[in-house]
């Protein structure tokens, strides 16, 4: 019998506030705990825990008597940029994208569906292609030693995806397959929210219908700012963790990890 995995209220508040911070809101400061409690329909202790998590990640600064504000930007020196470039390397994927590939290699994959479809308005807008253009839709489930972790749907322009199929998706992470077509990966834009599992997703992830899941939308660009993949992922929060360190505006060190044993 599947176990219900509720997403804690404080974490829901944390996700919403984090996204609003990334959108540039709260330039004059965040609302008080009392106002946030009313807005989210939660107790002040719950709101305070969400704010503490944001503060621990360096996203906000809290000062007694002065309120809560977004963390200030830290100037970047030329030396700092040079060091970052050396760490990341000049070619291939780096940062979060490399971390995603690394995590994929530590999990097993089940390919649920692969087919070529006409791009919907939403897919076409995201990938910056004409409405109705051909794209590959791939639906996969990834699992760790503990069991199912994620239910992932990806959309890739047909000009790239026609070079790989179901067998290739069983062997390698899709980002590697795209890279092997000659694409040089650039950046990714990602949002994280929450969604309840419907019947089909609940069955694949071995959870109850209605279970709260982490919902990730990720748009991947090449170095020429061309979208090459649009991903919709649903993740079990007890087996998937997203960590992010923000040191300055425009410089984000993000990592994901998957639990592989009960001791982790």
The proportion of the chain whose per-residue pLDDT surpasses 90, expressed as a percent, equals 41
197-219: pLDDT as tens digits: 888 899 999 998 888 898 989 99
How far apart are alpha carbons 219 and 137 in whole angstroms?
14
Kindly state whether residues 50 and 147 are assigned to the same domain: no
| 79 within domain boundaries | no
Alpha-carbon dihedral sign for residues 131, 134, 136, 139:
positive
Kindly state whether residues 219 and 146 are assigned to the same domain: yes
pLDDT-derived band at 255 (thresholds 50, 70, 90) equals low
| 88 within domain boundaries | no
| Structural domain containing residue 244 | 93-258
Cα torsion 34, 39, 42, 43 to 10°: value is: 0
Helix axes 9-22, 33-40, angle to 10 degrees: 110
The domain spanning residue 36 has which CATH number?
1.10.10.10
Per-residue pLDDT at 21: 77
32 phi/psi in degrees, rounded to 5: -70, 165
Higher pLDDT, 16 or 162: 162
Beta bridge partners of 234: 151, 215
Kindly state whether residues 182 and 97 are assigned to the same domain: yes
| 13 within domain boundaries | yes
Per-residue pLDDT at 99: 63
Number of domains in the chain: 2
pLDDT at position 101 over 80:
no
Contact between 58 and 245 under an 8 Å Cβ cutoff? The reply is yes
Kindly state whether residues 148 and 240 are assigned to the same domain: yes
Kindly state whether residues 46 and 176 are assigned to the same domain: no
Contact between 153 and 135 under an 8 Å Cβ cutoff? The reply is no
pTM: 0.60
Q: What share of the chain is helix, strand, coil (3-state, %, to 5)?
A: 35, 35, 30
| 76 within domain boundaries | no
DSSP conformational letter for 141: E
179-190: pLDDT as tens digits: 999 999 888 888
| 83 within domain boundaries | no
């Amino acid at each position: 019998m599947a176990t219900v995995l509720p997403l804690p209220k404080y974490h829901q508040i944390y996700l919403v506030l984090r996204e609003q911070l990334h959108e540039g809101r709260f330039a004059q400061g965040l609302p008080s705990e009392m106002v946030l409690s009313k807005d989210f329909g939660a107790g002040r202790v719950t709101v305070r825990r969400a704010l503490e998590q944001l503060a621990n990640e360096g996203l906000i600064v809290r000062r007694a008597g002065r309120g809560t504000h977004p963390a200030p930007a830290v100037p970047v020196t030329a030396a700092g940029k040079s060091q970052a470039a050396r760490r990341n390397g000049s070619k291939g994927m780096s940062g979060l994208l490399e971390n995603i590939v690394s995590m994929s290699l530590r999990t097993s994959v089940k390919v649920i569906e692969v087919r070529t479809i006409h791009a919907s308005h939403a897919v076409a807008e995201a990938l910056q292609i004409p409405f109705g253009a051909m794209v590959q839709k791939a639906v996969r489930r990834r699992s760790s030693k503990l069991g199912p972790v994620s239910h992932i749907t990806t959309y890739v322009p047909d000009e790239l995806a026609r070079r790989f199929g179901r067998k290739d998706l069983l062997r390698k992470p899709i980002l590697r397959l795209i890279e092997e077509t000659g694409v040089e990966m650039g950046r990714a834009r990602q949002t994280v929210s929450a969604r309840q599992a419907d019947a089909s997703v609940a069955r694949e992830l071995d959870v109850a219908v209605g279970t709260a899941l982490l919902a990730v939308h990720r748009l991947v660009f090449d170095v020429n700012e061309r979208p090459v993949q649009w991903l919709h992922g649903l993740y079990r929060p007890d087996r998937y963790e997203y960590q992010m360190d923000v040191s300055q505006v425009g410089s984000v060190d993000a990592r994901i990890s998957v639990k592989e044993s009960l001791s982790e």
